[in-house]
Each structure stands twice: as structure tokens, then as C-alpha cells.
Structure 1
Amino acid sequence: MDTSIVGVGVGISDRFRTVVEEKAQRVEHLAPRAQRLDVKVTHRAYHNGRMEDETVELTLTGKGPLVRAEAVDGDKFTALDLAVDKLAEQLRRAKEKRLDARDKPRGATFKKENGSLEGIDVQPAPVDVLEAVATGTVPVQPESTEEADYTPVVIRTKQFDAEWMTVEEAVDRMELVGHDFFLFIDARSDHPSVVYRRKGWDYGVISLTTAAPPAADIAS
């Protein structure tokens, strides 16, 4: 498995490279089909340099979907340990789900008459969650290369190409990237949708339906 290390605002020492290679052996043991491990280390300083942290991002590529993990700490070696632990846990959980799927095929079906899903432990989103998504009251601040004023809340934006997949595939992908939600296009309905983690192995799904605006609105 190839390993790539990139530093943003921080130098990469030989000692850190040696530790990464040691950690890569552990990852390769858990994912023998993996082909490449990308490690990105980002140094950030906040509030005139009074607060600093190191972010380590891991991206594992191979035959199948990407697997990502990220951790933040004041020391990059500690952040690396935390990120590798997260990545290992995601790989273990994905393996358990594959084994469980062999014993208990999911075979989910979509009921057009009532819009429900059967054969998978996914529940419709609560009304308050749908309202929060629809109103979009949380301000989004795009990433900037310049240091902004310190704030305890940092909201980053990312853009990805749309992917068509089933709800089951979206749940699996969410587990692999280690997020609490995953945005996709439902292959059954062609609607933008998002799956999210509730408790344990319980998940939820939100789908957006689109309709053409009234003719009067278009004319105005």
C-alpha cells in the first residue's frame, strides 16, 4: 500500500513519516485490499497565535468506496493516533456489517403507495428535523486561506459530485467515511436525500421532493 503525507502550514519530520509508516501497516492489516493511504496534516493558529491545533486527515482508497477519518489535537502525533483509531473502528464496523448482511440479507423494498421502506432499519425524519433543513437558519461560512477572527464554532463547506445509490448503499458509505450523515441521490426516486445516524444501528432518512413553481411566479 502506497502512503502519501502532505503538510499544510507545518513541516513533516522524518520521525513523523516513520510513525505514519508504522500506522499504515496496521491499516493495511485491517484493509488488505487498500491501495493508498493519504495523510494530510494541517496546522491552525487562532486568536493571534494564542491557540493552536493540528488536524490529521486520513483518506484510504482501494477497491471500493473511500474511507476517511479526521482528528484534532495540539500534538500531531496524538491527532494521528486518534485518526488511525477512528479509521480502524470504521473498517471493523464495515466488516461486521458485511458479515451480518451475508447472514441476514436486507433486500429493502420501497412502497410507492405510502412512501415507506421495508427490510431496513431506517425511519422517516421527525417534523422538527425537516423544518430545520427547510428553513436553513444556520449561517454557512466558506473556507478561507486567511485566518479569521477566533470563534469557537467553525463551519466548513465542501462540494461533491452527485451520486445515485440506494438507501442501503448510502448507509454503508456513511459508515465508511465516519460521518453522522451522508448526502446522495436516491436511485429509486431520483430525489436528493440524506441518511443520518440516530442511536446505535438505527438510522433516519430525509428526502426532498421538487416541483415546478407556479406559472404566475415564473412570469413575475
Structure 2
Amino acid sequence: MKFTIVGKNIDVTPGLKAAVEEKIGKLEKYFTPDTNADVTLSVEKERHKIEVTIPVKGKIIRAEQVSNDMYVSVDLVEEVIERQLKKYKSKLVDKQQAEASNFKKEYIETDYMDDEDIRIERMKKFDPKPMYAEDACVQMELLGHNFFVFVNAETDQVNVVYKRKGNTYGLIEPEV
């Protein structure tokens, strides 16, 4: 497993780098040797935040944790990722549709400040690949989000799945 570790407002010391590689490296059994884990460490006041993004067979495993100590955040994020991986593995076994969705790994995060009342904090760009609504729900769960934008493989249109109350899902389709 390969690591790309970046620090924002924090120096990534050799000890911190070793701690990240050791903790996230424990999950190496789930990945191929050429898998790259993108890790961003950041500090804002007393908030020590770690974000980890790992592409897995066309999907993205992503987790972030915040605490008052970076080493605690590293421990917490490792637990979250392992839970996501176990959930992902069980869904693959149940579905047998690992190739049905092709979500592109590359996405861009940029900070964006608007001078008006509305402030967009972060913008993400990605190249959506066609997938079925069911697979989009799985991807949304893996990312830990409440919604997910994708291209519907059946209609070839941009759709949104979202989480509803009571652990159900909704699908938004445009009328053409």
C-alpha cells in the first residue's frame, strides 16, 4: 500500500507519518499492493482532523475524524475505514456486482469563497460514470454521505440518490 500524506497547518513529522502508515497499513489485507491511500492532516485551533481517501475496485472509501489530538484522530479514522471495508465486502458478497459501477477515483477539492451572503466552502469535481441507482446507494453509504450524484445507467441522465428517514432512500430524476 502506498501513502500520500499531506499536512495543512501542521508539519508531518516522521513520527506522525509512521503512526498514520502503521494504523492505516493494518488495513492492507483489504487492498492490492499498488493501492494508494491519500491522507490529509489538518489543524484548526484545537481541531486535529484527518481525512483518508482510498479507491477500491471502482469505489471510493473515504473517512474523516476530528479530535483534540492528531494521534487520536488517526486511531478513530482507522476504525471507521475498517467498518466501511467490512460493510463493502459483505455487500459485494451479497450482490456479486462489483463491476456494475465505475466511479472514477479522481476528484478535485478546492476551497471557494464567495463575496456575497452565500458561501460555498468546498467544491468537488468528478467524472461520473454510469451506474444503477442501487449501486449509487452503496457508494453513498461507503462515503458516509446523505446524498450521491451519479449518471443513471438506465436513462443516461444525471440523478441523485439521498437518504430518507427510516433508513430508506430517495431518487431524484430530471423530467425531460
Return the offset for 1:208.
2.2
Return the offset for 1:83.
1.7
The residue correspondences of 1:184-195 to structure 2 (distance < 5 A) are 184-195=150-161
Return the offset for 1:93.
0.8
* C-alpha contact (below 8 Å) 2:31/2:56 kept by paired residues: no
Partner of 2:134: 168
4+ residue stretches of structure 1 with deviation over 4 A?
Answer: none
Amino acid at match of 2:44: R
- Aligned pair count reads 158
Unaligned runs of 5+ in 1: 46-51, 106-141, 146-152, 211-220
- The answer on 1:156 being equivalent to 2:122 is yes
Query: Of 61, 75, 80, which aligns to 1:86?
Result: 80
* C-alpha contact (below 8 Å) 1:33/1:63 kept by paired residues: no
- Higher strand share goes to which structure? 2
Please give the secondary structure, in 2, of the residue aligned with 1:159. Answer: strand
Quick one: structure 1 residues 79 and 200, their matched pair in 2 at CA, closer, same or farther if it must change by over 3 Å?
A: farther
The residue correspondences of 1:32-181 to structure 2 (distance < 5 A) are 32-33=31-32, 35-45=35-45, 52-102=46-96, 143-144=111-112, 155-181=121-147
TM-score by length of 2: 0.76
Cα distance in 2 for partners of 1:183, 1:203 equals: 13
Deviations, residues 12-46 of structure 1 (Å, cap 9, x unaligned): 122211211211232112x133611121112224x
Please give the secondary structure, in 1, of the residue aligned with 2:87. Answer: helix
* Higher Rg of the two aligned structures: 1
Please give the secondary structure, in 1, of the residue aligned with 2:59. Answer: coil
Amino acid at match of 2:130: W
- The answer on 1:196 being equivalent to 2:162 is yes
TM-score by length of 1: 0.62
Quick one: structure 1 residues 33 and 192, their matched pair in 2 at CA, closer, same or farther if it must change by over 3 Å?
A: same
Return the offset for 1:200.
7.0
